[in-house]
Structure 1
Amino acid sequence: MSTRRIVPNIWVNRQAEAAGRFYAESLPFTEAETESRYPQEGLPDFQAGFAGAPLTVAVTVAGVRLTLINAGDEFRPTPALSFMLNFDPLLFGGSDENATTAARNALDRTWEALCDGGSVLMDLGEYPFSTHYGWVADRYGVNWQLMLTDPAGDLRPFLVPSLMFGGDAQDKAAEAADFYTSLFADIPGGSGAGHRFPYGTPTGPASADALAFGEFRIGDQWFVGNDMGYDHGFGFTEGVSLAVRCADQAEIDRLWSALSADPAAEACGWLRDRYGVSWQVVPEDLDELLERPDAYAHMMTMKKLVIDEF
């Protein structure tokens, strides 16, 4: 049974349906569908123009769920939270030369699609850690790292969220990974660290012990975390948040208390943690709760969500 409980949410400026179609056409193993709409009435003034419009669009990439939030221009993704796409030949037929060629060709097609209207952060080419890799921010500002993976290595999901820690959170990638896995230690399948590779020598703002690359697992979900080796000047924003569906109010209360570190950022289930990462802590039956009369309006008045107040 899948234990994927953390769903990355991407804030899209009024174009979530178009973005969903774009990703379904651009990424392998991907489909998208509009899953919810704004109420026709009872919206706050700043959302009045969204009455009846799509609210969320579900994008499923090789079994990994992303949610596009159709909203205004308040937030925008940054490279601090990107998505790594592992083009492993095993996903394209095996470990032989034909499968490797198929994986590389699929990567090239995806790269070309994501670059259309986007901007390249790292050119597609050979690097010490991969024979074929590139980093691009697409037309919606979402960041993607495309990597041709060695089939002899440990198998990882096709899509893996990647968190880059800098600024006030510089050199805290390992600490953050340990903190997050501790919060979900009782999830089926357990949680814990994967491979970790420190820089070894001071690199920009990163110390020798900071992580050039690290990974951690929550249930059957993998995440990448690393510390910035250069002062890029960006950090985490609400443009990409991590949504957790909770079984009951007790779990909402526990995770909210553990994660929330900035009272000013608390709003209708959203919070910001000690590292600057934005989370949404919501009931697993939120869609059903929102079908109650005036439920959306009630939710908009809450900070931590209280199930009995919907």
Structure 2
Amino acid sequence: MGNSNKKITTCFMFNGKAEEAMNFYTSVFDQSEINSVFHHEDGTVLHATFTLKGQTFMVMDNSNKQEHPFTPAISLFVTCDIEEEINRVFKQLSQDGKILMPLAAYPFSEKFGWVEDKYGVSWQLNLISPLMNLDTR
């Protein structure tokens, strides 16, 4: 794992769907893998880590059985390198979820979309064009 000096890692707490969500996310994004999974005796996830596009995340299942929903007030902002990638990822994440902002051109982006996936996690997807990477200072 190349981020051994990293001090802050995003951690998601799911209500019994941590392993399913982790498998889904690693199937959606290129350069992704599951690093480790530890289970409770009942099969739910005690602690797991996975990597998406070089970024490490942690997941666990809620052991107190109370519902703690996600909110779009915190989202994952993903920079996509090519149009095919943003189209594919948007389609996969929005399936059985909901579209918060349709995939389109906006004044701040050539192509942008915001979705809440079927697990309630919010994703902002942005296509960076070569022209937008120019330093205009």
CA distance in 1, matches of 2:126, 2:19: 26
The answer to whether structure 1 residue 282 and structure 2 residue 94 are counterparts is no
Which residue does 1:174 correspond to in 2?
19
* 1: CA distance, partners of 2:5 / 2:119: 25
Q: Could you list the per-position Cα deviations for residues 250-303 of structure 1 after superposition, in whole angstroms to 9, with x for gaps in the alignment?
A: 21110111110334x4315211111110101111249949xxxxxxxxxxxxxx
Q: Which runs of 5+ in 1 are unaligned?
A: 3-62, 64-154, 201-207, 290-310
Which of structure 1's runs of 4+ aligned residues deviate more than 3 A? 285-289
1:266 aligns with 2:84: no
- Sort the Cα spacing of 1:284 and 1:193 in 2 relative to 1 into closer, same or farther, 3 A: same
Q: Which amino acid aligns with 1:181?
A: T
Q: Counterparts of 1:233 and 1:258 in 2: how far apart (Å)?
A: 25
Higher strand fraction (1 or 2): 2
Aligned residues: 121
The one of 212, 236, 239 aligned to 2:46: 212
Where 2:85 maps in the other structure, the secondary structure is: helix
Higher relative contact order (CA 8 A, sep 6+): 2
Instruction: Give 1:134's aligned residue.
Output: none
**Percent identity (aligned):** 31
Q: Which residue of 1 aligns with 2:8?
A: 159
Which secondary structure state, in structure 2, belongs to the residue aligned with residue 244 of structure 1?
strand
CA root-mean-square deviation: 2.5
Contact 1:156 1:222 in 2 (8 A): no
- Counterpart-to-counterpart distance in 1, 2:59 and 2:85: 25
Residue 156 (structure 1) shift? 5.9
Q: Residues 80-134 of structure 1: CA distance to partner in whole angstroms, max 9, x if unpaired?
A: xxxxxxxxxxxxxxxxxxxxxxxxxxxxxxxxxxxxxxxxxxxxxxxxxxxxxxx
Q: Which amino acid aligns with 1:273?
A: D
Q: Which residue of 2 aligns with 1:221?
A: 55
Gaps of 5+ in 2: 103-112
The SS at the match of 2:65 is: coil
